[in-house]
Structure 1
Amino acid sequence: MAEHPAYPVGLRLAGRRVVVLGGGQVAQRRLPALVAAGADIRLVSPEATPSVEAMADAGEITWEQRPYAEGDLADAWYALIATSDTAANDAASAEGERHRVWCVRSDDADRATAWTPATGHSEGVTVAVLTTEARHRDPRHTAAIRDAVVEGLRDGTLVAPHRRTRTPGVALVGGGPGDPDLITVRGRRLLAEADVVIADRLGPRDLLAELPPHVEVIDAAKIPYGRFMAQEAINNALIEHAKQGKAVVRLKGGDPFVFGRGMEEAQALAEAGIACTVVPGISSTISVPGAAGIPVTHRGVAHEFTVVSGHVAPDDERSLVDWPSLAKLTGTLVILMGVDKIGKIAGTLIAHGKSPDTPVALVQEGTTAAQRRVDATLATVAEVAVAEEVRPPAVIVVGEVVAVGPHGTA
């Protein structure tokens, strides 16, 4: 087998069973692409990273919390074998061979029956690069070819591979609202040059699959109301890796400074004498409503919009929001992190003069393939949010702009 090159092919996995063994970093990097392909994914692993666990909680994958067992690959079309148990990997590979299931192995590519190429996407085109000989099997070289082709497609030049300048330090990169195409060109370039990426779950996770294997990906696990990595630990990780001379990217959802705690990280880096670059991102506060057909301002309807955090309720002593004043505004109110507090928020706004009939829209997973919009009014939004099982992340828009456009309630 080693004498022959791999035969490239594109697998159409929509609705077909894919088995992933192991819930660690390899699975975390590969699962988003399998989810995007529409595969029926079954994860078998005693443990999982917080981001992989979040995929299971969201219903994107089915997680069987146990070690591999004989028969797990029986009905699979494709398998990713990525456990830390070599014996289990060997047994799963043997089972795959018996059942004619194409298997990728993260621990031993030479014993795998399939390889995962370095992939990139541009304008509806997927670029996949595979090495043909073992002596050329250098992930950095493969990723560089992939990057050159993708960049060439994006700017129309199809330039040859070139050496990138690697700059130690930290870049706080706003990744945008979720769609990987909505990260800035500069943000994508810095991501491609990184040695270490510390990523939030709300960032554009599909971009992680494009990173070459040598890049260390650290899951900051900023999962709403789930397991989390303390901010101090994130700061320390940024400083530690930067002091090792590495190019570090802190990949955040939306914009680093819009409820992203980016300034806390920038201050910690400054105190440690670490160079820091801030790359603004498209904020979900305007992009998510826009993607759902809602303008945050509209001529004759709203001349201003206000963005607030709803992570603490109006009656919570920690709240810094002047809710009574917001109730008197005639413009648009955009609320982030407020799904589970929307009942108290709506009640407070109504109590201070806002009409109960004011239109409200909840946009979940905005700009991603899972985006959905749920409409209500201030009087009904608490009940509707529960009935429709709206989950974070979701952007809540309050105001007459919700009724503007083809999807409005008016």
Structure 2
Amino acid sequence: MAIQDIYPTALRLLGRPVLVVGGGPVAARRAKGLLDAGARVTVVAPLACPALNELADAGLLELQPRQYRPSDTDGAWFIQTATGDPDVDTKVAADAEARRIWCVNASDHEASAAWTPAVAVVDDVKIAVNAGGDPRRAMALRDAVATALETGDLPLRRHRVSGTGATAGAGSVALVGGGPGDTGLITVRGRRLLGQSDVVVADRLGPRELLTELAPDVRVIEVGKTPGHHPVPQAQINKILVDEALAGHRVVRLKGGDPYVLGRGGEEAEFCRQRGVEVEVVPGVTSAISVPAAAGIPVTHRGLAKGFSVVTGHEELSDVPARADHTVILLMGVGQLRGSAASLGRAGLPAGTPVGIVENGYLPNQRVTIGTLGTIADQAEAAGVANPAVIVIGDVVRVSPFAPPHFKTADYSTTSPNAPRVPAR
């Protein structure tokens, strides 16, 4: 049978009688799939494997422990053979053909009137693949398609409103952390929800390139902020999320970094829930940790730092531990850098403490500026450093491959103890 001879369709077997002939693991898998489709399953086999016995003991199917008889096909809507004996399977298939009942002959796919595809389910989408009678090929293709749907590489978005439940007011909001901006650093769940969205409420620092992959009818509402300039106030953003969800839309609030790390995601989630809107929070790779990593700076490192603090450049820094072995990470801190450096100096942090600034982490225009607490403000002004940038203060900056040679005063590997640091000359 050539692949062109097949007419793809799907059977709705809810409540309908189905016959499985065979008692081994293949028969058990087929019986389980038929039960999942709602069929009333009868299994005929002299011996049954434990999986089939468990289904029978649970009352999920009828098990008849005997040899197959032609009368077993009476009244069946569909038949699956899986005896492992070609002669028996051929006999069952012939009896089914005589009664015009669709039958899968597991022993001879070329002679079979029907084929069982490789199946995967993603959300309410069922993927069925036939591959010229080659089951391993079909399974490989099925897995590839399912993975592409799971990751958002293939569209999973609904285009037809269901008659059971998709009414106005049945929308939802997903607060999706997009990571530091590189499209490869959004989570699989976030990418998938973005592909299912009807409306995207987008920040300036999220993975912007993903917006170009959305379907043409997906609406993108721009609410991006820059330091000191908030064209769409937070109260209005909250209202947009709720209004769009109550209109029945799947809304994705696409943020940079993580929604719950200085991203006001908690406020948005609370506002939505108070108004009866379903909210899902999808964590993202926060820029506080990922952007330093883009410059080879770990926020903790054996022998250098065991902890870190994350604050905005607008926060009072007097309560932050003023030690070079406790990393301080400033977000949105370029404009206040000189004042922040002075505050940390007054708190006791030495002027020679290393400082690294990473602009546009993971993007093609990424730039790294490294200095000390006493010099970094002048360096940043001279270089024209601008947001978005993450500022890292502490001895961990010494590990960066961008650090000048005189910063590297010890062995910072994790395979041998760090040698004592020697003050730079």
CA distance in 2, matches of 1:333, 1:254: 18
* Structure 1 match to 2:42: none
RMSD: 2.7
Provide the TM-score with structure 2 as the length reference: 0.56
Q: 1:150 to 1:200 in 2, by over 3 A?
A: farther
The answer as to whether partners of 2:317 and 2:343 remain within 8 angstroms in 1 is no
Letter in 1 for 2:290: S
CA distance in 2, matches of 1:355, 1:159: 49
The answer as to whether partners of 2:308 and 2:329 remain within 8 angstroms in 1 is yes
Q: 1:372 to 1:218 in 2, by over 3 A?
A: same
* Structure 1 match to 2:318: 323
CA distance in 1, matches of 2:211, 2:218: 10
The answer as to whether partners of 1:289 and 1:296 remain within 8 angstroms in 2 is yes
Which of 271, 275, 287 aligns to 1:272? It is 275
The answer as to whether partners of 2:203 and 2:256 remain within 8 angstroms in 1 is yes
Letter in 2 for 1:298: H
Q: 1:357 to 1:216 in 2, by over 3 A?
A: same
CA distance in 2, matches of 1:249, 1:393: 22
CA distance in 2, matches of 1:395, 1:157: 29
The answer as to whether partners of 1:198 and 1:250 remain within 8 angstroms in 2 is yes
Which of 376, 379, 385 aligns to 1:384? It is 379
How far apart are residue 290 of structure 1 and its match? Answer: 0.5
CA distance in 2, matches of 1:178, 1:278: 18
CA distance in 1, matches of 2:150, 2:370: 41
CA distance in 2, matches of 1:262, 1:156: 24
SS at match of 1:340: coil
Q: 1:151 to 1:293 in 2, by over 3 A?
A: farther
CA distance in 2, matches of 1:158, 1:329: 43
Letter in 1 for 2:195: A
How far apart are residue 370 of structure 1 and its match? Answer: 1.4
CA distance in 1, matches of 2:350, 2:378: 17
CA distance in 1, matches of 2:369, 2:145: 37
How far apart are residue 369 of structure 1 and its match? Answer: 1.3
* Structure 1 match to 2:195: 192
The answer as to whether partners of 2:332 and 2:387 remain within 8 angstroms in 1 is yes
The answer as to whether partners of 1:328 and 1:352 remain within 8 angstroms in 2 is no
SS at match of 1:395: strand
Structure showing greater Rg: 2
Matches within 5 A, 1:39-78: none
Matches within 5 A, 1:197-212: 197-212=200-215
* Structure 2 match to 1:356: 351
CA distance in 2, matches of 1:368, 1:408: 20
Matches within 5 A, 1:151-300: 168-300=171-303
* Structure 2 match to 1:371: 366
CA distance in 2, matches of 1:298, 1:324: 22
The answer as to whether partners of 2:156 and 2:196 remain within 8 angstroms in 1 is no
CA distance in 2, matches of 1:376, 1:159: 42
SS at match of 2:321: helix
* Structure 1 match to 2:397: 402
In structure 2, stretches of 5+ residues that fail to align are 1-141, 160-165, 408-425
Letter in 2 for 1:368: L
CA distance in 2, matches of 1:373, 1:159: 32
How far apart are residue 228 of structure 1 and its match? Answer: 2.1
SS at match of 2:197: coil
CA distance in 2, matches of 1:203, 1:394: 14
CA distance in 2, matches of 1:177, 1:160: 23
Q: 1:236 to 1:351 in 2, by over 3 A?
A: same
CA distance in 2, matches of 1:254, 1:399: 22
Q: 1:352 to 1:164 in 2, by over 3 A?
A: same
The answer as to whether partners of 1:255 and 1:282 remain within 8 angstroms in 2 is yes
SS at match of 1:326: coil
Q: 1:157 to 1:270 in 2, by over 3 A?
A: closer
Letter in 2 for 1:183: I
CA distance in 1, matches of 2:246, 2:150: 37
SS at match of 2:335: helix
* Structure 1 match to 2:340: 345
Q: Which runs of 4+ in 1 moved over 4 A?
A: 148-167
The answer as to whether partners of 2:152 and 2:188 remain within 8 angstroms in 1 is no
CA distance in 2, matches of 1:325, 1:370: 31
- 1:105-160 deviations in Å (ceiling 9; x for gaps): xxxxxxxxxxxxxxxxxxxxxxxxxxxxxxxxxxxxxxxxxxx9996785999999
The answer as to whether partners of 2:151 and 2:188 remain within 8 angstroms in 1 is no
Mean alpha-carbon deviation: is it higher for 161-170 or for 218-227? Answer: 161-170
Q: 1:288 to 1:157 in 2, by over 3 A?
A: closer
The answer as to whether partners of 2:198 and 2:250 remain within 8 angstroms in 1 is yes
CA distance in 1, matches of 2:152, 2:269: 36
In structure 1, stretches of 5+ residues that fail to align are 1-147, 313-318
Provide the TM-score with structure 1 as the length reference: 0.58
How far apart are residue 384 of structure 1 and its match? Answer: 0.7
Q: 1:385 to 1:161 in 2, by over 3 A?
A: closer
CA distance in 2, matches of 1:399, 1:195: 44
SS at match of 1:171: strand
SS at match of 1:234: helix
